[in-house]
Structure 1
Amino acid sequence: MTKLTETQTIILSAGAQRPENIALPLPKGLAGAAAKMAVTKMIEHGWLQEVDANLRRNEPLWRETGDGHGTTLVVTDAGLLAIGIEPVAVKAVVTIGKHATEAPAPKVPVIREGTKQATLIAMLRRSDGATIEEIMAATGWLGHTVRGAMAGALKKKLGLEVSSEKDEVRGRVYRIPEVLP
């Protein structure tokens, strides 16, 4: 087992205390060639890993990759073990912290009875399904509105699966398959 230097211990200990185990910023006084040499050695040992930086979360940059992106340094599980920290304990603390800051679960959308959307869903749940023309006649919508409601309101917002198949007589028929418990 390789013995850690004081600088390596400081970098790993600081990173273990930060969200996502980010090892940056490096200690004061460690810059330039000395920083590069220390980090390169730690990456070789598997204690640090270079990962894409999330600039939206203002993660500190280790280096720029030249394509408008950059990388940051993260302490690996091996790095945590090298300083005597069990990786599972760190992940548990981070998970608890994440759950405390997460927004509450979104409300499940309620389908109001008597609306055109409810009519659309009822038609699609029939065993024979419905065509665009049949839905247009029942709702008074134009064809593009029917297709938009199926793609937007039903699929994206309500999470319903809408399938379609070609029927020899009726043309394209759309359905919401039965959900088995």
Structure 2
Amino acid sequence: MAQIQLSDTQSVILSAACARDSGLVLPITASLKGGAVDVVLTSMIKKGLIEAIPAEAGVPVWREDEDGTPLTLVATAAAYMALGIAADTAPEEEPAAESANEAESPPTDAHVSKPARKPREGTKQEALIAMLKRPEGSSIAEITAELGWLAHTARGAIAGALKKKLGLDVTSEKIEGRGRVYKLDSPV
């Protein structure tokens, strides 16, 4: 079975649900605004990560069925697998009402560990990394000329994709005649 890719929001929601004994998705501990909650939950239902079941008394209600039956959401076995949690910890029974303290507790990050990202191959990101690995490094002007990017795109790629996402150690120094030069000393 292919590994399901989760967004950060989906990971937070599923981590909180899987941490609850009942596997209840509601209440949602992630801060989402407006219709974003419905979009995220519907996406997770389509992926088979959560499912709607009839809600028992005292359980938060997501929506009502066509016949007026209140429904709640629970994490499926696929959710536990997507988070890397053993399938035997998934609840097998219908969810029971939780205490108010449990329902409002923040999600735990115990089961959410992101694998280290790898640079993508055959892309402008790979070309940027190669440019920064050169002994002389590369200036923003050189990067924009080579990759066809605007200056703010090059700076954003260095700060966001390389430093934050990939965790690379990109250094910069101002060199007379070239301007600010960026270098990548760590191996990728």
- TM-score, scaled relative to structure 1: 0.46
**Higher RCO (CA < 8 A, seq sep 6+):** 2
Who wins on radius of gyration, i.e. which is larger? 1
Q: Give the structure with the higher percent helix.
A: 1
- TM-score, scaled relative to structure 2: 0.44
